[in-house]
Structure 1
Amino acid sequence: MKIHTGEKPFSCHICKYQCIQKSHLQSHMKIHTGEKPFSCHICKYQCIQKSHLQSHMKIHTGEKPFSCNICEYKCIKKDVLQTHMKIHTGEKPFSCNICEYKCIEKSSLQRHMKIHTGEKPFSCNICEYKFKEKSNLQKHMKIHTGEKPFSCHICKYKCITKSDLQRHMKIHTGEKPFSCHICKYKCITKSDLQRHMKIHTGEKPFSCHICKYKCITKSNLQTHMKIHTGEKPFSCNICEYKCIEKTNLQRHMKIHTGEKPFSCHICKYQCIQKSHLQSHMKIHTGEKPF
Structure 2
Amino acid sequence: MSENATPATKTVLITGTSSGAGLAAAVAAAQAGFTVVATVRDLDRTTALREAAHAAGVELDIRRLDVTEPDSIEAAISGVLATHGRLDAVVNNAGVGSIGTLELLDLDQIRYGMEVNFFGVLAVSRAALPHLRASGGRLVTVGSAYGAVGQPFNEAYCAGKAATETYMEALATVAAEVGVTVSVVQPGPIASSFGDNMPIDRVALRAAAEAGPYKAAYANYLTYLPGMIAGAVQTSAEVAEYVVYALTDPAPPFRIQTSDFSRSFVADKLVDVDGSAVQAITRQWLVPADTGVNP
- TM-score higher than 0.5: no
TM-score scaled by length of structure 2: 0.24
Higher relative contact order (CA closer than 8 Å, sequence separation 6+): 2
Larger gyration radius, structure 1 or structure 2: 1
More helix by share: 2
TM-score scaled by length of structure 1: 0.24
